[in-house]
């Protein structure tokens, strides 16, 4: 996934959850077959990111995401004050 994101040429923020629970870079012993799968997957991810960031369809998707974000933020408000935001922030900071 990281290879595809890097090759897309787009800026991104990489967040690893549970990264301290094991070796993320441990070789699982898949050999050439595993390398080919990673290359195909990274190309798919690269193409998807480019489509999302550079196409009219991607622009519409980002616009809908912003609208949903506003709706979610509005639903978290209780009489003009944030409702449950502290627990959400604490959860994503873990």
pLDDT (average), residues 5-17: 77
Q: Is the pLDDT of residue 19 over 60?
A: no
Mean pLDDT (whole number) for 82-92: 72
Q: What is the DSSP string of the chain?
A: -HHHHHHTT-------SSGGGS-TT-----HHHHHHHHHHHHHHHHHHHHHHHHSHHHHHHHHHHHHHHHHHHHHTEETTEESSHHHHHHHHH-
- At 39-54, the pLDDT tens digits run 778 888 888 888 888 8
Q: What is the pLDDT of residue 91?
A: 76
pLDDT score at 23: 60
pLDDT, position 63:
92
């Amino acid at each position: 996934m990281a290879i595809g994101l890097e090759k897309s040429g787009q800026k991104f923020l990489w967040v690893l959850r549970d990264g301290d629970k094991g070796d993320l870079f441990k070789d699982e012993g898949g050999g050439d077959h595993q390398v080919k799968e990673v290359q195909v997957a990274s190309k798919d991810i690269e193409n998807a990111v480019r489509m999302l960031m550079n196409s009219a369809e991607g622009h519409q998707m980002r616009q809908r995401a912003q609208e949903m974000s506003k709706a979610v933020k509005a639903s978290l408000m209780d009489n003009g004050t944030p409702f449950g935001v502290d627990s959400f922030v604490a959860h994503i900071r873990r």
